[in-house]
């Protein structure tokens, strides 16, 4: 963990993270804004009440004036910190619900939002017996955030049994973002056919403020569901965009999210908008680098992390809008990382990304 660089600064943001990959982009943003960033690395092991109390003590002793959590697990600790320091934030219960896919499904269902059929099951169950109880196609997934890992489609009994075995193997491995109860349970749900979107923004004192609605142009039909390409602005018809915004706003309210970053995953089918999840966390740095914003449609362009640091310090998001130019990002591979493009339209950006990805795969 890092101490504040300037003991006299009154602009101090506590950055909580489980993994270290997000630190640099936020440190760069804090430097640009003249803000002291207090980086606290959470341990990979399960967090006890004593460990959370230690984080709260660190925040108090360093006079943190804002708190920003960059992953779902640290968001739970961030909720405890903001409650203890009387800072705007999310209720601890809401952070817990948002990171548990079963609890999220139940909240959305009880709020009359569209959800697929679903049920939890023990990871020790007989997959052949379970397969006789489900309608195909269906999806198997872990309860905890996994960035798409372990989320698998099954179209018949054989693929269900195979997917269940692979999910069981993953849940048995060490994962920093899961506790023992979550490793013992899997979620089975109906497959939703349709186009997928990401909505990113912030909750501001209980109201959703959207920064960007992002298209995922690749049809994510399985059997795995790893993100590959993001493009903005969205090409969805305007009425659909309003439906997405309304559904995410209702979903965030049903979970109880109040203040801080939000990232929502949605699918739109012929029945309407399905909110797959709303997490109180930002986009990862690799994806977020495609986004830039401008205040009052003038002045310099700033990065996504700059806006989140500003918001953590109490600034309203109302005057900020995404840049006029279209932009996009594509994850080529673990070795090559991400490639980016900007252009006059989303179609142009997508085309350039796909062309560059072919070059990278051959010569990168």
Nearest Cα to 308, choosing from 285, 337, 275?
A: 285
* Average pLDDT of the segment spanning 181-208: 95
pLDDT tens per residue across span 238-264: 999 999 999 999 999 999 999 999 999
Per-residue CA distances from 2 to 15, 20, 39, 41 (Å): 10, 12, 5, 9
Give the SS3 label for residue 113: coil
Compare 10 and 59 and report the one with higher pLDDT: 59
In sequence order, what are the residues at sequence separation of 6 or more whose Cβ sits closer than 8 angstroms to the Cβ of residue 95?
A: 75, 76, 78, 79, 280
Q: Look-up: residue for tokens 């949605």?
A: 266
State if pTM tops 0.75. Answer: yes
> Could you give all domains of the chain from N- to C-terminal order, each with its CATH number?
12-87 (3.40.50), 117-190 (3.30.1490.20), 195-363 (3.30.470.20)
What distance separates the 2 farthest-apart alpha carbons in the chain? 65
Range scoring the smallest mean pLDDT among 17-31, 239-253, 315-329: 17-31
DSSP conformation letters of 171-186: HHS--TT--HHHHTEE
Residue 274: CB partners within 8 Å, gap ≥ 6? 113, 114, 115, 116, 192, 194, 266, 267, 268
H-type helices in 191-255, by residue range? Answer: 238-255
Confirm if 177 and 146 have CB atoms less than 8 A apart: yes
Task: Note the pLDDT tens digit of each residue in 127-151.
Answer: 999 999 999 999 999 998 776 678 9
């Amino acid at each position: 963990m890092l101490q504040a660089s300037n003991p006299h600064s009154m602009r101090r943001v506590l950055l909580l993270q489980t993994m270290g990959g997000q630190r640099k982009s936020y440190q760069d943003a804090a430097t640009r804004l003249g803000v002291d960033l207090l980086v606290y690395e959470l341990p990979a092991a399960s967090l006890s009440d004593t460990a959370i109390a230690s984080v709260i003590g660190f925040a108090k002793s360093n006079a943190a004036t804002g708190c920003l959590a960059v992953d779902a697990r640290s968001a739970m600790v961030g909720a405890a910190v903001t409650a203890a320091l009387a800072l705007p934030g999310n209720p601890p219960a809401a952070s817990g619900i948002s990171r548990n896919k079963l609890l999220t499904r139940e909240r959305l269902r009880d709020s009359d939002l569209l959800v697929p059929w679903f049920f939890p099951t023990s990871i020790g169950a007989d997959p052949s017996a379970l397969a006789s109880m489900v309608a195909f196609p269906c999806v198997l997934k872990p309860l905890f955030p996994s960035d798409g890992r372990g989320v698998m489609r099954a179209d018949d009994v054989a693929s269900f049994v195979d997917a269940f075995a692979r999910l069981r193997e993953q849940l048995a491995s060490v994962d920093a973002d899961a506790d023992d109860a979550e490793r013992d349970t899997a979620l089975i749900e109906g497959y939703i056919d349709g186009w997928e979107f990401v909505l990113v923004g912030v909750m501001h004192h209980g109201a959703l403020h959207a920064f960007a609605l992002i298209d995922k142009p690749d049809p994510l039909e399985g059997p795995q569901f790893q993100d590959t390409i993001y493009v903005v602005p969205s090409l969805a018809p305007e009425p659909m965009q309003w439906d997405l915004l309304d559904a995410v706003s209702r979903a965030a309210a049903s979970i109880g999210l109040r203040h801080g970053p939000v990232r929502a995953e949605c699918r739109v089918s012929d029945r309407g908008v399905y909110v797959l999840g709303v997490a109180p966390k930002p986009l990862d740095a690799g994806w977020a680098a495609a986004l830039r914003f401008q205040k009052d449609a003038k002045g310099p362009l700033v990065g996504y992390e700059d806006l989140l640091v500003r918001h953590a310090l109490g600034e309203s998001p109302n005057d900020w809008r995404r840049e006029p130019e279209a932009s996009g990002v594509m994850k080529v591979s673990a070795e090559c990382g991400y490639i980016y493009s900007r252009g006059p339209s989303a179609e142009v950006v997508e085309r350039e990304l796909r062309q560059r990805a072919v070059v990278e795969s051959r010569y990168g």
